Structure 1
Amino acid sequence: MKFLNLTALLMAAVLLAALIVAGCTTGPSQPAATPTPTAVQQKELTVFAAASLTGVVTEIAHDYELLHPGVKVVTNFDGSQALRTQIEQGAYADVFLSANTKHMNALRDKGLMENASIGLFVKNKLAVITPASNPANIHTLQNLSNPGVRLVIGTKDVPVGDYARQILTKMANDTAYGPSYQQAVLKNVISEETTVTAVVAKVQLGEADAGIVYESDITPENRNKFMIIAIPDKFNVIAEYPAGIVKDSRNKDEASRFIDYLKSDPGRATLVKFGFAMP
C-alpha cells in the first residue's frame, strides 16, 4: 500500500513539473505582425522665385503639395539677378520664376533654360509707399523730390530697381516734372536694396520715408502699416514675370506640371489674391 502511495506521489510530482515547464516555455499566442506600409517616395521640386513672389509662391507650393502628395516643393526666394547668378554658377533648380524677362533671357541665351517652356504667367505694377505715420509728409509723387526725404529703391540690377529708374526717366521726359525732378529724387536715395522685400522692410521699420515697390507688396496683412501713393499708368511700368524650366532639371515633367498649375484657374486665383494681374 505504501509502495502504491509513493508511486502515485511520484507520478503527480512529474506531471506537475511538466505543467510548470510547459507554462514557462509556451507564452500566450502573439497576433500576426501587421506589415509596415511603405512610405510614399517624395520627389523634391526646387523652385527659384523672385523675392516679390515670396508670399504667393509659398501658398501655391503648399496647395500644389496637397494635390500631389508625392511631391515636396523646395523654394528659394531672392532677387531675380541673384537667382540668375546662382543658376549660372551651377546651383540646382527645376523652375525659375523671374520678376523680369531680362534675367530669364540671359539664362536662355546661355543655354541654361528649356526654351520652349518659357512664358509669362503674371504681371505687376509699381507704387510708392511711406510709413503709415508719414513723417516726411509725402502725399504726391512731387514730394519725393523734397530736400531731406529718405528714399529707398532697388539696385539697378534687381528688377524693382530697374523699373523704378524707368519710371523716373519717363517722369523726367514729362514737362510736369522734368530732368531736375529725376535728379532731385535720385539725390534723396539713401539705400539701394537687392530685394524688394528689403525695401518694404526699411519703410515699415521707419528707416526710410518712402520706397518704390510692387503693388503686390501691399497686402491685406500689412496695408495698415503704409500709406500708398499710386503711380499713374503713363509713368508706370508693367512688370512681366516669366516662368521656365531649368535645362539641368531632373524633374522636367513635374516642373512642367507646376508651371501649368501656376497658370490654372486655382493658381491664378491665388496670384490675384496677392495683388498680381494676369498677363
Structure 2
Amino acid sequence: MDARKKSSIILCVLVAMMLLVAGCGNSSESKADNSASGAAAGSDTNTSNDTPTEKVDLTISAAASMTDALNEIAKTYEKAHPNIQLSFNFGGSGALQKQIEQGAPADLFLSASTKNMKPLVEQQLIEEGQEKTLLKNELVVVVPSDAKTSVASIGDLSKAEVKKVAIGIPESVPAGNYAKEALMSSKLWEPLQSKTVQAKDVRQVLQYVETGNADAGFVYKTDALTSPKVKIAFTVDPKAYSAVEYPIGIVKATKHAKEAEDFYNYLQSQPAMDVFTKYGFTVPE
C-alpha cells in the first residue's frame, strides 16, 4: 500500500471517530436535558397535588339560649382549627329533637333539657358513650328595663297592670315547660291563661319583652344577661320546677365522627367553660 492510500485510510478513521464522539456527546446532553425536563415536570405535578386540607362543615343543633356563648366559642375554635367551619342551628330543643329524629343533618346536639336528649339516646340516634350533662341554668322572670309596674314575685304576674306574660311553647321549648311547672306549682297556670303569650323559643320570649309586646317573660338567667333592654324582676324558686340541665351528644349519623368528637371534647374544656360561665351558665358538680 502506497503512502497516499495509507494517509486516506487514516484520515477516514479519524473522521469516523470524531463523528462517533460527537454523537455520544449529543446523546448525553439530550438525556441530561430530558432528565432535567422530567424532574421539572415531576416537580410541577407534585405541586399541583399539594391541595389544601378539605374544609369540614360541622352542623351543631343547639338550644337558642346558648347562642351568644357558642358564637364566641366558635370564633376561637375556628381560628385554631382553620379546616373546621361551625354552622349552628339554634332553636327550641323540642323542635331540634324532632328534626334529628326526621333525619335532618346534625353532628352534635346541645339541648336545654334532658327530656329532649333522652328519646334520642333511647332510639340510638346519639352515639353511645358520647352524651353527658354539660351545663346548668336557672329560670328568671324579666320585665322591660323601663317598667313601671312592680313585679317582685310570681304572684305579681296576676296584677291587672301585667297584661301579657310571655313563655316558650311548653311542648317544644324547655324554658316554657319549666315556666309551666313553676306556674302550676303556684296554682297560677290556669288563671294566667288569658294573658299568656307563647313563643317558639326562649329568645323570642326575650324579644317580646324587649319590644314591649309582653310585660313580663320567663327566660333563663343567661338570656336576661344578654339584653340591656330588660331587667330581672325575680328569680323563680328552683324548687318549683325541674333542674335546668344542658346535655350534649354526638349524633350517630354524623359523617365527620373525628371532627365532631374533637369539638365535643373542646366544649368540655376549661377555655370553653370559662366562656359559658361568663354568660351565666353554671358547671355541674
Q: How large is the Cα RMSD of the aligned pairs?
A: 2.1
CA drift at 1:136: 3.8
1:257 aligns with 2:262: yes
Flag structure 2 segments of 5+ consecutive residues without an equivalent.
1-39
1:74 aligns with 2:87: yes
User: Secondary structure, in 3 states, of the residue corresponding to 2:259?
Assistant: helix
Q: 2:223 aligns with which of 217, 227, 233?
A: 217
Flag structure 1 segments of 5+ consecutive residues without an equivalent.
1-31, 172-178
Q: 1:278 aligns with which of 272, 278, 283?
A: 283
1:170 aligns with 2:185: yes
User: Secondary structure, in 3 states, of the residue corresponding to 1:201?
Assistant: helix
Partner of 2:192: 185
Letter paired with 1:121: L
1:243 aligns with 2:243: no
User: Secondary structure, in 3 states, of the residue corresponding to 1:118?
Assistant: strand
The 1:253–1:40 alpha-carbon spacing in structure 2 relative to 1, beyond 3 Å, is closer
Determine if contact 2:167/2:219 at 8 Å carries over to the other structure: yes
Partner of 1:84: 97
With 203-212 and 130-139 compared, the bigger mean Cα shift is at 130-139
CA drift at 1:129: 0.2
User: Secondary structure, in 3 states, of the residue corresponding to 2:218?
Assistant: strand
CA drift at 1:90: 1.3
C-alpha distance in structure 1 between counterparts of 2:246 and 2:232, whole Å = 26
TM-score (norm 2): 0.77
Instruction: Give CA-to-partner distance per residue, 1:201-239, whole Å, 9 cap, x none.
Output: 0000000000000000022x5245334322233335421
Partner of 2:15: none
CA drift at 1:122: 0.4
C-alpha distance in structure 2 between counterparts of 1:236 and 1:91, whole Å = 31
Give matches, 1:13-24, under 5 Å.
Answer: none
Partner of 1:9: none
Partner of 1:61: 74
Partner of 1:161: 176
Determine if contact 1:126/1:212 at 8 Å carries over to the other structure: yes
Partner of 1:195: 201
Letter paired with 1:108: V
Q: 1:138 aligns with which of 151, 158, 180?
A: 151
Determine if contact 1:129/1:228 at 8 Å carries over to the other structure: yes
Determine if contact 1:127/1:231 at 8 Å carries over to the other structure: yes
With 139-148 and 109-118 compared, the bigger mean Cα shift is at 139-148
C-alpha distance in structure 1 between counterparts of 2:134 and 2:200, whole Å = 23
CA drift at 1:148: 5.3
Determine if contact 2:63/2:93 at 8 Å carries over to the other structure: yes
CA drift at 1:39: 3.1
Partner of 1:8: none
Determine if contact 1:216/1:274 at 8 Å carries over to the other structure: yes
Give matches, 1:86-125, under 5 Å.
Answer: 86-125=99-138
CA drift at 1:142: 1.7
User: Secondary structure, in 3 states, of the residue corresponding to 2:238?
Assistant: coil
The 1:234–1:86 alpha-carbon spacing in structure 2 relative to 1, beyond 3 Å, is closer
Determine if contact 1:124/1:214 at 8 Å carries over to the other structure: yes
TM-score (norm 1): 0.79
Aligned length: 238
Instruction: Give CA-to-partner distance per residue, 1:99-140, whole Å, 9 cap, x none.
Output: 101111111222211121110000101000000121443233
